[in-house]
Structure 1
Amino acid sequence: MGGCVGKNGGGDDSDDKIDFKGGNVHVITSKENWDEKISEANRDGKIVVANFSASWCGPCRVITPAYVELSEKYPSLMFLIIDVDELMDFSSSWDIRATPTFFFLKDGKQLDKLVGANRPELEKKIVSFADGLAQHVN
């Protein structure tokens, strides 16, 4: 389901920003910022859901409200978003071939990956990881 491969946007980028108001999504703006959040998640025993996205990508825009909603519903996970255009070198180190691409990480290691704006599959994976964490706590 829906994924963008190359920049097809045009015109003025000023209104291309995706809105995360009200969510529990951390916008990653640098490699240092990423490292801080990964350290924080490791310290707190949280699984990280990292969304590699692009402001010009239609499917990314479509999945964002669901991503924000899931971030509020599952505070036991840490939700990050990385703009592949703003952090090109960092994104390419993750071998991103299409947006959105979601990585699920624990202790900095990849547990799972989802490519494309497939809400039911994204939700299923998030619920599975959140439930897994809840079982470890109980």
Structure 2
Amino acid sequence: MTKPYTPDEPTRDEVDAFPGGALLEFGTNWCGWCQGAQPRISEALRGHESLRHIKVEDGPGRPLGRSFRVKLWPTLIFLRDGREVERLVRPGAAEPIREAVERIDPVST
């Protein structure tokens, strides 16, 4: 993944209204844990290119991360129709990410 984390985050109301599956990835561009997780995340998302994936730059005072009680990076929040289905914090392998993606986006190939 070369896409950087963005400070332009959606509001919580917008996230709660997302239809279908979505992945919120909280972290920062300078975070070593976040950089290390990118190959695993990219591998797990292969075949799910249409899945909404938003990389949110997190930190103190960032409302979206606080609304999801994010404490460590990267934190992956898997949503289905705006509701949290699963959460992974600092995932160490692609397989748990892939399994969570399949739960929110089962029809992609």
TM-score normalised according to structure 1 size? 0.60
Higher helix share: 1
Relative CO higher for 1 or 2, CA cutoff 8 Å, sep ≥ 6? 2
Letter in 2 for 1:19: T
Per-residue Cα deviation, 1:41-71 (whole angstroms, up to 9, x for no partner) = 41xxx30011111222212101223334544
Equivalent residue of 1:31, what SS? coil
Report the CA distance between 1:124 and its aligned residue: 2.1
Q: Which runs of 5+ in 1 are unaligned?
A: 1-17
Question: Which 4+ runs in 1 deviate beyond 6 A?
Answer: none
Give the corresponding residue for 1:29: 8
Would you say how many aligned residue pairs link Structure 1 and Structure 2? 106
Structure number, greater radius of gyration = 1
The question of whether the paired residues in 1 share the 8 Å contact of 2:79 and 2:104 is answered with no
Equivalent runs, 1:119-138 vs 2, <5 Å: 119-131=94-106, 134=107
Distance 2:44 2:84 in 1: 20
Aligned residues: CA RMSD: 3.1
TM-score normalised according to structure 2 size? 0.73
Equivalent residue of 1:98, what SS? coil
Percent sequence identity over aligned pairs: 17
The question of whether the paired residues in 2 share the 8 Å contact of 1:52 and 1:82 is answered with yes
